[in-house]
Structure 1
Amino acid sequence: MSRTTAGRDSARAARKPAVCGARRLHGMTAPHRSTADPLGIWRRLADASVLLDGFHALKHALRFQAHVPVAVTTGRRAALDLADELAPDVRDVLETLLTEVSEDTYRALVPRPHPTAVAALAVRPSREANLETLRRSPRSAPVVVLDNPRNLGNAGAVIRLAAGFGATGVVTTGTLDPWHPTVVRGGAGLHFATVVERLPVAELPPGPVFALDPEGEDIRALKLPDDALLAFGSERTGLSAELRSRTDHLVSLPMRPQVSSYNLATSVAMTLYHWSATGGASA
């Protein structure tokens, strides 16, 4: 994390009232650390839970009301010091929640150890509630649609962007699981700050589809509506024929001649920024 980002986190936290205890923040009923069996809880829940890989993923999940039954670290004191510095709003919850484990135990639980040596399991949000949010009309912010994305890291970066801009959600089509641990890691736990689901093209939420395509109308001449579906094709093959047939408007981003394309997350960032800068709802 950059110093600028860390400063913003601290500033936001300073403006919030202190949170006293896990129950007030996210409704969990975890017992005190001395009576809990965190490793037993972990092994029992791992297959059906969302892996929060790293301090920042856990921090964001707690801020956005995730239910986190168990969290571990190899350095409890260091993790709480990090909370004091970057996330004092969740520090009390972390003090109750975090259990210190050995390096060997941590590495056995987490396939790709994070530099902060913190990991947790969270309950995935209700699919039914997510679909209800996506289908709500009118919406106050667009839905980002990733049409058959291929790169897990790109998908995570897009979810992080969508959360930052206050988008209604991110929907993926195709085979990529948007809740894959690598995607959640790339999204820094911000899956819990927006709606994240996978749907076939035929079941996309209602709303006009604005799809990014080099042959489309220059985005600078358009105002993107709040209830739009902002669709982005695969990094390798672009928009699928099925998604293209559903599209209402093709939109292009300004690009210097002989430059072939932008990174997927960059394209999403430019599009969401254009939406917000031309009258979109404030994040």
Structure 2
Amino acid sequence: MTRTDAAGPDGAVRAWRGLADTSVLLDGFHAIKHALRFDARVPVALTGDRAGALALADELAPDVRAALDALLVEVPEERLRALVPRLHPTAMAALAVRPSRAANLEALARMPRPAPVVVLDDPRNLGNAGAVIRLAAGFGATGVVTTGTLDPWHPTVVRGGAGLHFATAVERMEVTELPPGPVFALDAEGVDIRGLKLPDDAVLAFGSERSGLSAALRERADHLVSLPMRPQVSSYNLATSVGMALFHWSAGRPPGLEA
């Protein structure tokens, strides 16, 4: 956690405007809470109701209450709405420093690793990508990689991830640059995942919501695997598919063993 030396609301708003174009927007209490828990650098945090925000922390996240108390600056809500396109109902927002790409790539490349990397092959839906990052963080995955044009640090993705981008390594890469490890690509024609044990160093790849796996990813795959699905049901939501695969991986680990 960090904080600017901004004095009062005017200084905090000036600091926000100076940092906004290069920082990660944390929208709402839960995003800020998760970012602080996973050691994000947060130079400025604003709220329209400081007492209410701290009361919420007392109730839901006492572990970050002191950090919030040190960070939060109260500004009139109309000024806050001018800075944040769609103010969260908790009337809180913060700016965080994006982790360095070099550090994320190092974490993704490190072997052996204790948990899989999730790859989203040319995803199109920002909300789905955020939900996947939230899932991956919850399971302790090593990271989430996207291929294609979607920016996994887009504000809408970060909003969907509830600040949990800071709990795992999130980067965009080319298929040819994917982290090491056997690639298990999810495909309807693959082998039923229930008959497989997914290794900790697996790279779990999921095709786009519209077109499935790209030719490049399919060629890169070491194994094609499928999720159980009732006949005449065409597909699952992307985040659902990722959750099912990560649960299958985690089911082979002793209870209480964290990645």
**Taking structure 2 as the reference length, what is the TM-score of the superposition?**
0.96
Distance 1:53 1:35, change over 3 A: closer
1:212 aligns with 2:186: yes
In structure 2, the residue matched to 1:202 is 176
Q: CA deviation at 1:96?
A: 1.4
Describe the SS at the equivalent of 1:206. Answer: coil
Report matched runs for 1:82-121 at 5 Å. 82-121=56-95
Counterpart-to-counterpart distance in 1, 2:126 and 2:15: 28
Residues 169-180 of structure 1 aligned to structure 2 (within 5 Å): 169-180=143-154
1:32 CA drift (Å): 7.4
The answer on 1:282 being equivalent to 2:242 is no
Q: How many residues align?
A: 257
Q: Which amino acid aligns with 1:282?
A: E
Give the % identical residues.
Answer: 75
Instruction: State the SS of the aligned residue for 1:37.
Output: helix
Partner of 2:30: 56
Aligned partner of 1:268 among 236, 242, 246: 242
2:158 maps to 184
Q: How far, CA to CA, are the matches of 2:138 and 2:232 in structure 1?
A: 31
Q: Secondary structure at the match of 1:113?
A: coil
Residue 109 of structure 1: how far off its partner (Å): 0.7
Partner of 1:154: 128
Asked if the contact 1:71–1:118 (Cα under 8 Å) also holds between the matched residues in 2, the reply is yes
1:29 to partner: Cα distance: 4.8
Is the CA contact 1:33–1:97 (under 8 Å) kept in the aligned structure 2?
A: no
2:19 to 33, 36, 45: 45
Alignment-derived partner of residue 11 in structure 1: none
Distance 1:38 1:32 in 2: 5
Quote the RMSD (CA, aligned, Å). Answer: 1.4
Work out whether residues 74 and 100 of structure 1, in 8 Å CA contact, stay in contact via their aligned partners in 2.
yes
Q: Name the CA distance, whole Å, in 2 between partners of 1:257 and 1:129.
A: 44
CA distance in 2 between counterparts of 1:204 and 1:258 reads 33
- Deviation for aligned residue 1:181: 0.5
2:234 is paired with a residue whose SS is: coil
* TM score, norm. by length of structure 1: 0.88
How far off its partner does 1:31 sit?
A: 3.5
For 2:7 and 2:158, the matched residues in 1 are separated by 26
- In the alignment, structure 2 segments of 5+ residues that lack a partner are none
Could you tell me which of 227, 246, 257 is aligned with 1:253?
A: 227
Instruction: Give the corresponding residue for 2:44.
Output: 70
Partners in 1 of 2:75 and 2:168 — Cα distance?
31
| TM-aligned CA distance change 1:237 to 1:217, over 3 Å | same
- Give, in whole Å, the separation in 2 of the partners of 1:31 and 1:247: 50
Q: Aligned partners of 1:209 and 1:69: how far apart in 2?
A: 38
